[in-house]
């Protein structure tokens, strides 16, 4: 009975695989010898443990002082400047000052009006008294090269502080 080449191919592949696996079996003695040599070597010495630093003890003696986490504390800034909660917000108060650019001016002298481009790519007219920025920024003066304003920022103790800010004309 004669086998065709297609019937012999799986048997030939099986025979080649067995021969390849038999060839991989040798040389194990060298590996075992090397492992034994490595295990026989003494381990390197360990680094000494760091010396623990002694810390000074602290005795808390502020039981009679105000609790810094008390939410009912209103701070000392009761008579200072405050944002007007009843004031209607203007369009430029939606944007941060960093996102706006002064692009020019119109008029002369006291009738000077600044042109400000907002992040929405719309140019707005700004004059003293206009509010802009997200910190209740009120424009105090308009010059040919800059806009000066005063922002209200929280002071951290329940009050508010006035912080001066400027927006300069951009060079194109």
Shortest CA distance to 166 belongs to which of 78, 100, 71, 81? 100
What is the band of 24 on the pLDDT scale with cuts at 50, 70, 90?
low
Between residues 27 and 33, the one the model is more confident about? 33
Give pLDDT tens digits for 61-100: 887 887 777 766 555 555 678 888 889 999 999 999 999 9
pLDDT at site 76: 52
**Residue 50: both structure tokens together:** 């760091």
Assign residue 19 a region (left: φ > 0; alpha: ψ between -120 and 50; beta: otherwise): alpha
Mean pLDDT over all residues of the chain?
Answer: 84
| H or E segment and range at residue 160 | strand 160-168
């Amino acid at each position: 009975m004669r086998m065709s080449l297609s019937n012999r191919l799986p048997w030939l592949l099986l025979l080649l695989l067995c021969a390849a696996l038999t060839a991989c079996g040798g040389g194990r003695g060298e590996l075992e010898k090397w492992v034994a040599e490595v295990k026989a070597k003494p381990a390197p010495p360990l680094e000494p443990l760091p010396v623990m630093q002694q810390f000074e003890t602290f005795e808390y003696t502020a039981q009679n002082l105000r609790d810094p986490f008390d939410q009912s504390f209103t701070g000392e800034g009761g008579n200072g400047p405050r944002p007007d909660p009843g004031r209607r917000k203007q369009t430029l108060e939606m944007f941060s000052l960093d996102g706006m650019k002064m692009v020019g001016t119109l008029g002369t002298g006291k009738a000077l009006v600044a042109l400000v481009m907002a992040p929405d790519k719309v140019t707005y007219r700004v004059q003293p008294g206009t509010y802009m920025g997200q910190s209740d920024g009120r424009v105090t003066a308009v010059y040919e090269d800059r806009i000066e304003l005063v922002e209200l920022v929280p002071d951290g103790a329940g009050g508010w502080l006035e912080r001066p800010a400027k927006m300069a004309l951009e060079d194109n």
